[in-house]
Amino acid sequence: MTLTDVVPLSGKRPLTVRMATPRGFCAGVDRAIQIVERALEKFGAPVYVRHEIVHNKHVVERLKAMGAVFVKELDECPDDRPVVFSAHGVPKSVPATARAREMLFLDATCPLVSKVHVEAERHHANGRHIILIGHAGHPEVVGTLGQLPPGSISLVETVEDAEVFQRPGDAPLAYATQTTLSMDDTAEILATLKRRFPELPDPHKEDICYATTNRQEAVKRLGEGCDLVLVVGSKNSSNSVRLVEVALKAGAGAAELVDDASHVDWSWFEGVRTLGITAGASAPERLISELVEAVSARFDATVIEDDGARETVTFKLPRVLTA
C-alpha cells in the first residue's frame, strides 16, 4: 500500500488540484463587460448588444437579467437606444450603418483585435494581399474580413489550406491571425506558408493576444502532469476550446470543457490523482471557485496554485461612459 492509497479520516479519496495561472477573464473581456454594465447604469435599460458581448453563457445571462438585449444585427435595434458592439469586433459596415441611423453606439472591440484590423488596413494600403489565419464564421474573423473590400483577404484555416493557397496574380503577401488561436497550430500553418512564400513579412507584433498565449502556456504546464484537466468555458469560446486541445497535446490523460460545475461528469475522475483546472478568457472567476468547491466536496482536495505569468494589462473605457 502506498501513501496515495490511504483513505483519510474524512473518507474522501485524496486528490491534488493544480490551478493554472493565469486563468479566466482577460483585460479585453473585462472591458467589454464593463462597457455593457456602465451603459446600463448611464442610459438605463434596455441597452442592445450586437452578438454575444463575450462567448460565455453565464456572462450573457447575467447581463440579460440587468437589462441587456442581445441581437444578431442592427436592424433588430431601435434608433433611440444605445447599442454595444461585441469584443470580437465588427465589419466596417456595422458602425457605418449605426452612424447613418444616428444611433448611439459603443464599440467594445478588444483593443488587440483592433490592432489586427489596423495592421490589415496598413498592408492593404501598401498593396499587399492578406492571408488571414483563423476559423471561418467566428465573429472575430468576420469582423476582420469586413475591414477591407471583398477579395482583399484570403482565409486559411489549416495546414492543408496553406498548402493549396494560391497567390492572387503577382500581389505581394502579408498575413494576420485570429487572436484566440492555438499558438502551436498557428506556427505549423505559418511554417507552411513561409516555406511556400519566403517573402512573407512578420507582423509588427504577434497577433495572438497575450492572454491567449499566457493561458495556453499555463495549461501546457498542467498537461505535463495531470491525469485530467477541466477547462471552464462555453463551447462557442474559441480560446476555451483551444485550451482543451493544448492540454491534450501537452500530455494530459484527459481534458474536458465544462460550462460550470453542474456539467462535470464525475465518472471522469476514476483513477485521477492529479486534476488541473483552468478557464477560458471569458469565464468568470465565480465559476472556477464553484468548480473547486464541488471537487472539494467529493474529494480530500489539496489545492495548489501553479506559477505563471502575472497580468497587469488594463484597457480604458470609452470616454462617453467615464465623463
pLDDT of 255-280, one tens digit each? 999 999 999 999 999 999 999 999 99
Tell me, yes or no, whether 176 and 254 share the same domain. no
Domain annotation covers residue 277: yes
Q: What is the pLDDT of residue 6?
A: 45
Query: How many other CB atoms sit within 10 Å of the CB of residue 310?
Result: 8
Tell me, yes or no, whether 152 and 225 share the same domain. no
86-117 pLDDT, tens digit each:
999 999 999 999 999 999 999 999 999 999 99
Which residue in the list 140, 206, 270, 311 is annotated as catalytic?
140
Domain annotation covers residue 204: yes
Q: What is the pLDDT of residue 188?
A: 95
Tell me, yes or no, whether 229 and 295 share the same domain. yes
160, 188, 208 — which closes off a domain? Answer: 208
| 323 confidence band (pLDDT: 50, 70, 90) | confident
Tell me, yes or no, whether 203 and 235 share the same domain. no
Tell me, yes or no, whether 18 and 87 share the same domain. no
Q: What is the pLDDT of residue 8?
A: 54
Tell me, yes or no, whether 18 and 31 share the same domain. no
| 4 confidence band (pLDDT: 50, 70, 90) | very low
Q: What is the pLDDT of residue 297?
A: 96
The CATH number covering residue 139 comes to 3.40.1010.20
Rounded to 5 degrees, what are φ and ψ at 279?
-150, 145
Tell me, yes or no, whether 217 and 198 share the same domain. no
Tell me, yes or no, whether 218 and 296 share the same domain. yes
30-60 pLDDT, tens digit each:
999 999 999 999 999 999 999 999 999 999 9
Overall number of domains in the chain: 3
Domain annotation covers residue 53: yes
Domain annotation covers residue 136: yes
Domain that holds residue 32: 27-107
Q: What is the pLDDT of residue 201?
A: 82
Rounded to 5 degrees, what are φ and ψ at 71?
-130, 165
Q: What is the pLDDT of residue 202?
A: 73
Domain annotation covers residue 319: no
Domain annotation covers residue 4: no
- Per the omega criterion (within 30 degrees of 0), is the bond before 149 cis? no
Tell me, yes or no, whether 233 and 301 share the same domain. yes
155-201 pLDDT, tens digit each:
999 999 999 999 999 999 999 999 999 888 899 999 999 999 999 98
Domain annotation covers residue 2: no
Please list, residue by residue across 90-116, b when 16 or more beta carbons sit within 10 angstroms of its beta carbon and e when fewer do: bbeebbebbeeeebebbbbbbebbebb
Domain annotation covers residue 78: yes
Parallel, antiparallel or unpaired: strands 228-232 and 153-156 = unpaired
208, 239, 258 — which closes off a domain? Answer: 208
Tell me, yes or no, whether 242 and 187 share the same domain. no
Asked if 163 is an active-site residue, the reply is no
210-268 pLDDT, tens digit each:
999 999 999 999 998 999 999 999 999 999 999 999 999 999 999 999 999 999 999 99
- Answer yes or no: are the C-beta atoms of 178 and 203 closer than 8 Å: no
Tell me, yes or no, whether 253 and 227 share the same domain. yes
Q: What is the pLDDT of residue 55?
A: 96
49, 84, 107 — which closes off a domain? Answer: 107
- What does the mean pLDDT of the chain come to? 94
The CATH number covering residue 34 comes to 3.40.50.11270
Q: What is the pLDDT of residue 203?
A: 62
- Answer yes or no: are the C-beta atoms of 178 and 112 closer than 8 Å: no
Which residues have a Cβ under 8 Å from the Cβ of 220 and sit 6 or more positions away? 246, 247, 250
